[in-house]
Amino acid sequence: MAYALKDKIVATGSIRGTINRILNVIAFLSIPHQVTNFIHRLRGVHVGKKAHIAKYVYIDDRNPEAVWIGDGVAVCAGSRILAHQRDLTNYKKGMWGMQNPLKIMPVRLEDGCHIGIGATILPGVTVGKGAIIAAGAVVSKDVPPYCVAAGVPAKVVKEFD
- Backbone φ and ψ for 131, nearest 5 degrees, come out as -75, 155
Give the rounded distance of the alpha carbon of 87 from its chain centre. Answer: 18
* H helix runs in the chain, sequence order: 14-29, 33-43
pTM of the shown model: 0.84
Counted residue by residue, the chain has a size of 161
Those residues whose C-beta lies under 8 Å from the C-beta of residue 64, and which sit 6 or more positions away, are 20, 24, 40, 43, 44, 45, 83
Q: What tens digit of pLDDT does each residue of 44-73 get?
A: 999 999 999 998 999 998 899 999 999 999
CATH code, 14-159: 2.160.10.10
Mean predicted lDDT score pLDDT of the chain: 89
* DSSP for residue 128: P
Mind listing the pLDDT tens digit for each residue in 102-155?
Answer: 899 999 999 999 999 999 999 999 999 999 999 999 999 999 999 999 999 999
Q: Is the pLDDT of residue 10 over 70?
A: no
Say whether pLDDT at 11 is over 80.
no
- CA torsion 89-46-108-48 (nearest 10°) is 170
Give the span between the Cα atoms of 145 and 131, in whole angstroms: 5
pLDDT class of 3 with cuts at 50, 70, 90: very low
Q: Running DSSP on this structure, what letter comes out for residue 38?
A: H
Residue 5 pLDDT level (bands cut at 50, 70, 90): low
**Any catalytic annotation for residue 52?**
no
pLDDT given at position 9: 43
Q: Which residue of the set 33, 46, 84, 114 is catalytic?
A: 84
In whole angstroms, give the CA distance from residue 59 to residue 43.
10
Residues 144, 131 contacting (CB under 8 angstroms)? yes
Given a cut of 60, whether residue 6 has pLDDT beyond it is no
